[in-house]
Amino acid sequence: MTRDSGTTGALSGDTLLRVEGLKKYFPVRGGFWQRSVKWVRAVDSVTFNINRGEVLGLVGESGCGKTTLAQMIVGIYPPTSGRIELDGIDLGKSLQSRNLKTKRKVQIVFQDPFWSLNPRKMVRDIVGEPLVVHGVALGSTVVRKVGDLLEMVGIDRARLFSYPHEFSGGERQRVAIARALALNPSLLLLDEPTSSIDTLSQAEILNLLIEVRNRFSLSYVLISHDLSVVQYLSDRIAVMYLGKIVEIGDTRRVFRARLHPYTEALMAAVPMIHASGEVSDVKPLEGHVPSAINPPPGCRFEARCYKRQDVCAVEEPPLRAIEDPEHLVACHFTNV
């Protein structure tokens, strides 16, 4: 899969989203009174920016905090601490603390459209509900706007009165995208948007996302286990491990340089098919992710890292620039 030449990077260069020191700790309750006795550190001191018109890919093993991070940005979970700003406005601690105008600016497309679309409602109501709730359109105007949104994502407006089960997986994801676009947001959070659909539909959805992004100058946070999808769509990539970002930078540079040993291990675990038809050796990452309840005191990847030394077990490496000021890595001994 090669990158579309129409994909541009940050369109204006100004910061749209700013995340600073974001944490989300979930309580583990125990005892007779069910008090919080431990904490799961799902997201632990994450900081990054996204420019207007930019796509940031989030990758990492299951349970590393990617989805929790996205859900905090959209307001599903309140952060334990830290700050989320959109266009310089503090989004607050929860969805309830945001006004309607702020809520419109951030929307999410969930992983499985079969479960994220109400099976009892027609597409007209599923896509039109945000328009009604936010007072954007009423009556016949809703039907017209929903029809326009469906056509924008490649679905005939004649299917306004169909139910989700009457659509294929790829079509349901298009409906979910239409719903997310209804309020003209600035930022879309895409949680594994192609993981539950067939390969042909995946390519169509990716091209649709590129087209929509370029048309409306949207920014995306793209969560995916599929590195080829991230490479195709993202301008920058952030690699997460056990609640922290361990490497972040330009997608092409990160894929080429792989400064963090975890980034190297992630990409080495993906089989590559060469022009000759040979498949490269896959090197699965050994060991297990440490507990998010009691993470190790030094580098969280230390126990699985082939480059570990004594300092790695006691001193947590800061996220810092090595050669490029825009390419940051949290490692004492980077792959340079």
pLDDT digits 0-9 by tens, 110-124:
888 778 899 999 999
> In this structure, is the dihedral angle defined by the CA atoms of residues 131, 136, 141 and 147, taken in order, positive or negative?
negative
Residue 287 and residue 304 in contact, taking contact as beta carbons nearer than 8 Å: yes
260: Cα within 13 Å, side-chain hemisphere: 31
- Helix then strand then coil, in percent of the chain rounded to 5, is 35, 25, 45
Q: Which residue has the higher pLDDT, 271 or 310?
A: 310
Residue 335 has pLDDT above 80, yes or no: no
Confidence band of 204 (pLDDT split at 50, 70, 90): very high
Which pLDDT score is estimated for 89?
A: 87
- Per-residue pLDDT at 275 exceeds 80: no
pLDDT digits (tens, 9 = 90+) for 278-328: 666 667 788 888 999 999 999 999 999 999 999 999 999 999 998 889 999
Q: What mean pLDDT is predicted for residues 185-205?
A: 89
Its pTM stands at: 0.89
pLDDT at 5 over 60: no
82 contacts 282 by C-beta, under 8 angstroms: no
Q: Could you give the angle at which helices 199-216 and 169-181 cross, rounded to 10 degrees?
A: 20
Q: How much is the pLDDT for 279?
A: 61
**Can you tell me the distance from the alpha carbon of 136 to that of 305, in angstroms, rounded to the nearest whole number?**
52
- Centre a 10 Å sphere on the Cβ of residue 239 and count the other Cβ atoms it contains: 26
For all residues of the chain together, what is the average pLDDT? 88
Task: Find, among 188, 190, 172, the residue nearest to 127 by Cα.
Answer: 172
Q: What is the structure's pLDDT at 332?
A: 94
Residue with tokens 């989203």: 17
The more confidently predicted of residues 119 and 3 is 119
- Please, what's the largest Cα pairwise distance for the chain? 68
Q: How far is CA 154 from the centre of its chain?
A: 23
